[in-house]
Amino acid sequence: SAVISQKPSRDICQRGTSLTIQCQVDSQVTMMFWYRQQPGQSLTLIATANQGSEATYESGFVIDKFPISRPNLTFSTLTVSNMSPEDSSIYLCSVIGDLVNSGANVLTFGAGSRLTVL
């Protein structure tokens, strides 16, 4: 299955600043997904990063707050803009991994970027 490198692994940020998270995959993938996991919570899909077109955002997430780039089939970035303490979370990128039983619901995740906003 794909190997995903994500950086930074963690950061402490000041309120009002922006931070860009990078996600590099060792193979070409059509879709990459960005998830957020708030402390002690579940994973919530932010958006699907599509190569060659704008990202597709889920309800409650907007491009101005979470701009995403997808310049090629192995790389994507997520920016968390104008951060507030409520943005303190783990941000994870993921790709579809090996197919099991011909299903498409197997995701491989990066190690995550743990952001703390002061």
Partner 1 sequence: GQSLEQPSEVTAVEGAIVQINCTYQTSGFYGLSWYQQHDGGAPTFLSYNALDGLEETGRFSSFLSRSDSYGYLLLQELQMKDSASYFCARGSSNTGKLIFGQGTTLQVKP
Taking CB under 8 A as the criterion, the residue among 14, 59, 86, 100 binding partner 1 is 100
Decide: helix, strand or coil at residue 117: strand
Taking CB under 8 A as the criterion, the residue among 55, 109, 115, 118 binding partner 1 is 109
Please tell me the distance from the alpha carbon of residue 78 to that of residue 67, in angstroms, as a whole number. 6
Q: Which stretch in 60-68, 69-77, 80-88, 95-103 sits in contact with partner 1 by CB under 8 A? A: 95-103
**112 belongs to the binding site for partner 1 (CB under 8 A):** yes
The answer to whether the CB of 62 falls within 8 A of the CB of 4 is no
**34 belongs to the binding site for partner 1 (CB under 8 A):** no
Q: Which residues, 6 or more positions from 59, have their beta carbon under 8 angstroms from its beta carbon?
A: none
Taking CB under 8 A as the criterion, the residue among 33, 34, 66, 91 binding partner 1 is 33
Decide: helix, strand or coil at residue 86: helix
Strand partners, 75: 24, 72
Q: How many residues bind partner 1 (CB under 8 A)?
A: 25
- Shortest spacing between CB 89 and partner 1, in angstroms: 14
